[in-house]
Amino acid sequence: MQNTKNKTASGYEKIFKNLKKLLDKAYSFLYSGSVLVSKWPVSGIKWHKNLIMFRGRFEHSVTDKGRVSVPSKFREVVREKYDGETLIITNFDKCLVAYPLREWNELERKVSELPQFRQEVISFLRYLMGGATDCPVDGQGRILIPQSLRIHARISREVVMVGMLTKFEIWAKEVWEEDESLKAYDEFKRSREILAAEGL
């Protein structure tokens, strides 16, 4: 009887190991090229950095010198996915936008392939690239936003930070509340129909 139980347990263990191998292979295939960051505690299925994104909306206060705390969830993304690298912050529409250095370098690579003498490209470079500033996250999880960028985005005391997957936006709270929160919803309603047609 004991031998039968041992054989049954051994059989289940073998099935479990084979299943785990199959699942690990499936994840490796789906996310090939990714760097692994953690494991599920029981099955050992591997999680991947490519799944970590900037998500959510957070409000924070700004000091007189322009220092502001980066939301803890955003700091986790910078630490886990981008190895704590510096942020590049620049002008964007009515707000500022913050890119991890790796994402910024990829943007620069794509822009460098555009026709450099087209007026649209020149204007884009002047506006987006011309305002770009290195803003490392300090030991207290804060960044220092330069005064010129704060003036552009009308940032004074309060900001709203909005996750945008591979980057995040920094809005003056009053600007966000005045028109962007409602406008964003209206634009979302229109864009979702277009994106649905694209299969999203």
The model's pTM is 0.70
First to last CA, the chain: 56
Give residue 175's pLDDT.
92
- Please answer whether residues 57 and 161 qualify as being in contact, where contact means their C-beta atoms are separated by less than 8 angstroms: yes
Q: How far apart are the C-alpha atoms of 61 and 172, rounded to whole Å?
A: 10
Q: Which CATH class is domain 57-194?
A: alpha beta
Q: Where are the domains of the chain?
A: 2-51, 57-194
- Please answer whether residues 68 and 61 qualify as being in contact, where contact means their C-beta atoms are separated by less than 8 angstroms: yes
Closest among 107, 79, 102 to 92, alpha carbons compared: 107
Give residue 25's pLDDT.
47
Question: pLDDT below 70 — which residues of the chain?
Answer: 1-50, 179-182, 184-185, 189, 195, 197-200
Give residue 80's pLDDT.
92
Phi, psi of 70 (to 5 degrees): -80, 135
- Please answer whether residues 34 and 54 qualify as being in contact, where contact means their C-beta atoms are separated by less than 8 angstroms: no
Give residue 44's pLDDT.
38
Give residue 32's pLDDT.
39
Give residue 191's pLDDT.
72
Give residue 158's pLDDT.
97
